[in-house]
Amino acid sequence: MTPPSAAPIHPATAAAIAEAGRLLAEGHLVAFPTETVYGLGADSTSDRAVAAVFAAKGRPSFNPLIVHVADPADAERLVVVDARARALMARFWPGALTLVLPRRADSPVSLLVSAGLDSVAVRLPDHEVARALIRAAGRPVAAPSANRSGAVSPTTAAHVAQSLGDRVAMILDGGPCRVGVESTVLDLCHERPAILRPGGIPMEALADALGEPPLTSGHGGDAPRSPGMLESHYAPGLAVRLCACSPRPGEALLAFGAAPADATLNLSPSGDLEEAAANLFAMLRALDRPEFTGIAVMSIPDRGLGRAINDRLRRAAAPRSSATREAS
Ligand code: AMP
Ligand code: MG
């Protein structure tokens, strides 16, 4: 079937989810809500569908995708799950934790998904629409964030329509995303677990579950272990300035907690990090307007979800070479 040229946004009714599942199974791209951000979904077992994801996002083929499943048992068919991984799944799934595990020799997942690595990243999202869609598709669904490569991630269906509306067969609307930042990516392929990307499950919770703090950077070598760790990422059009106390002339001020009267928007007036994470990408988009010369952001405590927020803000503020802009 040929997808419509401009993807309509559909409320995520049972009928729309069934139709979206059918489109996925036929090889089309479908955007859908998760608790973290909206995903750009494709049949993870189809080379053609996976290649279409990279093309739609303008994402370089060395940046691997996360595969989404509806049940932990489905993950066991894709990757080698040991006792440590199983314990983390039991504790954090469904939820904002992606586990990077060795690829099974008989894994049905397209080799393009993992960009030549011998591992696959898997996640079980904590969103009923996402799980119903994966079940309707009848296969694991590869899904990066549903934005053009390098840009701010989408937390509403309207955000997806703005950047990828003409590239997807359907956008399922499940309302704004509850968590608002991407999943934590944890590499379990080595003796010591390593966080490749801070995200919706705080490092403190993982340390507690593992009985030791995970490593917080890659394992060396020239290539980034997780290309999401490249310097510039999540970038709005305007320059971003961090740790601001007040706006410079022409700047918008994105505040946190008690704020000066000239704050333009506030991530969380009460200083709540979960509220701030949920607002982060929508507020960066809202302030990315020509009447401002830049976006100044107040400092955010570097604990709990604050680590994921600061990671995204640092990348949004990083110098933008064309190479790093293309890699996210
Ligand atoms: P996104 O698709 O934008 O949510 O980003 C997914 C993140 O997971 C990126 O940082 C990827 O580099 C990372 N990722 C996915 N698969 C793997 C893998 N097999 N090994 C390491 N990182 C991965
Ligand atoms: Mg992304």
Using alpha carbons, select from 224, 197, 203 the residue that is nearest to residue 324. 224
Chain segment 106-162, per-residue pLDDT in tens: 999 999 999 989 999 999 999 999 999 999 999 999 999 999 998 999 999 999 999
The residue among 164 and 219 whose pLDDT is bigger is: 164
Mean pLDDT of 291-311: 97
How many angstroms separate the alpha carbon of residue 325 from the centre of ligand 2? Answer: 12
For position 233, what pLDDT does the model report?
A: 79
Whole-angstrom distance, CA of residue 111 vs CA of residue 115: 7
CATH class of this structure's domain 9-210: alpha beta
Counting atoms of ligand 1 from 1, which one is nearest the CA of 143?
2
The pick from 50, 65, 148, 181 for probing ligand 1's pocket by mutation, whose C-beta has the most ligand atoms within 8 angstroms, reads 65
How many angstroms separate the alpha carbon of residue 224 from the centre of ligand 1? Answer: 11
Mean pLDDT of 239-245: 96
Q: Residues with beta carbon < 5 A to ion ligand 2?
A: 145
pLDDT confidence bin for 1, thresholds 50/70/90: very low
Nearest CA to ligand 1 atom 22: 226
Strands (E), the chain: 9-11, 30-32, 39-43, 66-68, 97-102, 119-123, 141-142, 170-173, 184-187, 194-197, 239-241, 251-255, 265-266, 294-297
User: Is 228 close to ligand 1, i.e. is its CB under 6 Å away?
Assistant: yes
CATH class of this structure's domain 240-327: alpha beta
Counting atoms of ligand 1 from 1, which one is nearest the CA of 66?
15
User: Is 117 close to ligand 1, i.e. is its CB under 6 Å away?
Assistant: yes
User: Is 163 close to ligand 1, i.e. is its CB under 6 Å away?
Assistant: no
Q: Domain spans of the chain?
A: 9-210, 240-327
Chain segment 78-93, per-residue pLDDT in tens: 999 999 999 999 999 9
Instruction: Among the bound ligands, name the one nearest to the CA of residue 197.
Output: 1
What percentage of the chain reaches a pLDDT higher than 90? Answer: 86
Counting atoms of ligand 1 from 1, which one is nearest the CA of 228?
10
Question: pTM of the prediction?
Answer: 0.93
Orientation of helix 273-287 relative to helix 157-164, angle to 10°: 40
How many angstroms separate the alpha carbon of residue 40 from the centre of ligand 2? Answer: 10
The pick from 226, 233, 326 for probing ligand 1's pocket by mutation, whose C-beta has the most ligand atoms within 8 angstroms, reads 226
How many angstroms separate the alpha carbon of residue 262 from the centre of ligand 2? Answer: 31
How many angstroms separate the alpha carbon of residue 125 from the centre of ligand 1? Answer: 15
Nearest CA to ligand 1 atom 14: 64
How many angstroms separate the alpha carbon of residue 237 from the centre of ligand 1? Answer: 24
Mean pLDDT of 160-173: 96
Chain segment 199-226, per-residue pLDDT in tens: 999 999 999 999 999 998 644 443 345 6
Give the list of residues 6+ apart from residue 292 with CB closer than 8 angstroms, or none.
238, 250, 251, 252, 264
Strand pairing of 119-123 and 30-32?
A: unpaired
Instruction: Among the bound ligands, name the one nearest to the CA of residue 144.
Output: 1
Whole-angstrom distance, CA of residue 309 vs CA of residue 306: 5
Tokens of 62: 């060395």
Give the list of residues 6+ apart from residue 206 with CB closer than 8 angstroms, or none.
88, 97, 184, 186, 193, 195, 214
328 pLDDT higher than 50 = no
Residue where the block lists tokens 């068919």:
77
User: Is 97 close to ligand 1, i.e. is its CB under 6 Å away?
Assistant: no
Chain segment 30-52, per-residue pLDDT in tens: 999 999 999 999 999 999 999 99
User: Is 42 close to ligand 1, i.e. is its CB under 6 Å away?
Assistant: no
Q: Identify any residues that bridge with 238 across adjacent strands, giving them in sequence order.
A: none
- Are 114 and 78 within 8 A, CB to CB? no
For position 325, what pLDDT does the model report?
A: 41
- Are 236 and 284 within 8 A, CB to CB? yes
